[in-house]
Structure 1
Amino acid sequence: MQWKSQLHDLKAYQPGKTMEDVKEQFNLEKVVKLASNENPYGCSPKVKSFISSAAASHAIYPDGYAKQLRMKVAGHLSVEPQQLLFGNGSDEVIQMVSRALLDHTKSTVMAAPTFPQYKHNAIVEGAEVREVPLDGEGRHQLGKMLDCVDETTAVVWLCSPNNPTGEYIRKEELIDFLDRVPSGVLVVLDEAYFEYVTAEDYYDSIELLQTYPHLLVTRTFSKAYGLAGFRIGYGVGSMDVISKLEPIREPFNNNSLAQGAASAALEDQEFIKECRKLNRNGLRQFYEFCEISGVRFLKSQANFILIDFGVSGDEVFRYLMSKGYIVRSGEALGYPQSVRITVGSAEQNEELISLMKEFLALARQY
């Protein structure tokens, strides 16, 4: 087989252990997963009502244009329907962008560490990957990223709030960056955690689209809307950008049930407001634990927190998993002495904090 040379050392995405796997391995009755930044409160009651009453024929292809969902999202964001591109999760939107713009003659710029699919897809397309380390507070160094842009650069990736640090890009620095990036370079602004943001100096990315036609914003229904299992994400951009990406989209890439669930979810913004409030409360639980325990952490605008325990993240991960809590080791995220923890319910957070206190007490004995 004549495989692309860049595939020889490329590893497939490795999902974490399932809750059933952990129950079996450690003989546990209860396991809580706080590793993938899912919404601990599930989805809106309106989604549950839709699913219980959905009677569409499964023998018929879904609406390939996702018209109902498209119109609802367009109305919610006050954009034209032609400014939207729907994907099987925002991961697929990232893949479409990479396929459309990257090849062995192109370069792409991103932060490090950040969401790994930017780099993964760039490697598949054979592009040169230029990574700029985050600063000590987990923030994008936009000036240094700009220095990496040249005539070969096709795409710049920004993740705000950033995964895995939870930090965000401030309005003034984003505008300055967009003013200076060449108009022929697509800037992809990944806002997977947008609904959780409470920072006052956060920007309005949809408003910025009117000024910067080389900007593409990506969002998802997987996080705050609680629809990770349905795989619905989307991009918002100028009509010109979307018209170039749309032919790359696979036909019927969003199934009928997912489209209906996302439409129902969008109607319940009170649910999103409540989840945002509960998430802030949960973050404060973790902040208090870190401050009292003397461990380093990064303040987050997302629904997760990165905590530095000063030892291998794998060690912390294994201890907590043995006690029934699955988190994400920072070993695979670029922060080897940290773990990334999804903010759970108040009760889940309290239980996990107790376990982390136990771990620290044991670790500090040696």
Structure 2
Amino acid sequence: MAHPGIRGEVWQLQPYGHGAAPPADAIRLHANENPLGPSPLAVEAIVKAAADSNRYPDAGCSKLRSALAKMHEIDENCIVVGNGSDELIHLLGLLFLQPGVSAIAADPSFVRYYAAPPLAGATLHRTPLDVDLKHDLDSMAECFDHATRLVFVANPNNPTGTLVGADDLETLLDRLPDPALLVLDEAYFEYVGAPYSRGLDWVREGRNAMVLRTFSKAYGLAGLRIGVGFARPDIIDAINRAREPFNVGSIAQAAALAALQDQEHLAKTRTLNDEGLRTFHAFCAAYGLRHTDSHANFAFIDLGKDARPIAQAIAHKGVLVRAGLGLDNWIRVNTGLPEQNQAFLDALKEHLE
């Protein structure tokens, strides 16, 4: 029996996780990780920073924020660093949501958007993707009213990898009610080949927009949990008042700062990902499988039948992928090393022939 003091909204949520820890020798193509691992410069910084683990970290992530401000030509007061982007999404829920107001997110999209509203007793509007599995921004705008407070757009989207253009997003932003905030989650920003986002421009202009980025994906630091938010100073000030002190560890800060300096590693990551997507999409063409136009570090593939038992069967062969992400016939597989990609395709073939 649940403790009677726990708020009822909590039981609407599902614990986040991938089940039991996978075997050490499993091929991990299920978590959208960087198969190259962290930059060697980041690893070196991790080892060095570990020696000072008896000291509390810089509570304001000042060095990292300074480096990000210089890189993006934006004021440091427009930057906050979190324990992953997940923490920043949670904090936005604390700041903006309460009973009687609402948030909007696409379906399917990143599951953490769905957790913030019920925790705050707020309403969540989930709008279906369009026929190309992109955000249907018109449908999202149709949900706008005086109660709207947060609008989440993952761009590229997870799990589909699809992208919406800056002009369409600006139209959405123009229609946004004054009390609301457009949250642009750009976790896969570094994988998109051409400039596509004007989110930071909108932040510089002081508009009601926030951009989320992460070091978990292209920078290969998922295990250290470090995300970044860009917004106008009053929003950042509010987040800093609500967040935990020392929310980002010193090792994570040092690793992220070093990772920013290694653009060669980032370029190798992009190249490997592009090759992996081409391999997956060529396989889809050969077998007549539909796939999205993914701009992230994963392919999203329609198997034409329930993908969940196939994902389980592939896992028994030591290759981990994801299914059951809101579209039952679709499977999400992140790009790995060439031999890992081939192991997945070899295992998948058995269920297509």
Shorter-chain-normalised TM-score: which range? over 0.9
Partner of 2:32: 37
Partner of 1:364: none
User: C-alpha distance in 2, partners of 1:222/1:127?
Assistant: 29
Partner of 2:298: 304
User: C-alpha distance in 2, partners of 1:55/1:156?
Assistant: 39
Superposed CA offset, 1:5-52 (max 9, x none): 2123322113244232xx7xxxxxx42010000000101111122123
Assess, with a 3 A threshold, how the Cα gap between structure 1 residues 40 and 55 changes in structure 2: closer, same or farther.
closer
Contact 2:49 2:250 in 1 (8 A): no
Contact 2:187 2:212 in 1 (8 A): yes
Amino acid at match of 1:343: T
Please tell me whether residue 192 in structure 1 is matched to residue 187 in structure 2.
Answer: yes
Please tell me whether residue 264 in structure 1 is matched to residue 267 in structure 2.
Answer: no
Contact 2:90 2:116 in 1 (8 A): yes
User: C-alpha distance in 2, partners of 1:53/1:108?
Assistant: 42
Q: 2:175 aligns with which of 177, 180, 184?
A: 180
TM-score (norm 2): 0.96
Assess, with a 3 A threshold, how the Cα gap between structure 1 residues 105 and 273 changes in structure 2: closer, same or farther.
same
Q: Which runs of 5+ in 1 are unaligned?
A: 24-29, 362-366
Q: Secondary structure of 2:53's match? A: coil
Amino acid at match of 1:197: V
Partner of 2:341: 349
Amino acid at match of 1:145: M
Partner of 2:119: 124
TM-score (norm 1): 0.92
Report the CA distance between 1:55 and its aligned residue: 5.0
Partner of 1:275: 269
Report the CA distance between 1:212 and its aligned residue: 5.0
User: CA-atom RMSD, angstroms?
Assistant: 1.4
Amino acid at match of 2:6: W
Partner of 1:158: 153
User: C-alpha distance in 2, partners of 1:11/1:140?
Assistant: 23
Q: 1:247 aligns with which of 226, 241, 262?
A: 241
Q: 1:216 aligns with which of 210, 215, 221?
A: 210
Contact 1:103 1:127 in 2 (8 A): yes
Assess, with a 3 A threshold, how the Cα gap between structure 1 residues 17 and 296 changes in structure 2: closer, same or farther.
farther
Q: 1:70 aligns with which of 61, 65, 71?
A: 65
Assess, with a 3 A threshold, how the Cα gap between structure 1 residues 55 and 11 changes in structure 2: closer, same or farther.
closer
Moved more, 74-83 or 189-198: 74-83
Q: Secondary structure of 1:137's match? A: coil
Report the CA distance between 1:54 and its aligned residue: 3.0
User: C-alpha distance in 2, partners of 1:31/1:272?
Assistant: 25
User: C-alpha distance in 1, partners of 2:267/2:198?
Assistant: 17
Contact 1:308 1:338 in 2 (8 A): yes
Contact 1:307 1:338 in 2 (8 A): yes
Contact 2:78 2:231 in 1 (8 A): yes
Contact 1:95 1:121 in 2 (8 A): yes
Superposed CA offset, 1:179-200 (max 9, x none): 2212321110000000001146
Please tell me whether residue 15 in structure 1 is matched to residue 9 in structure 2.
Answer: no
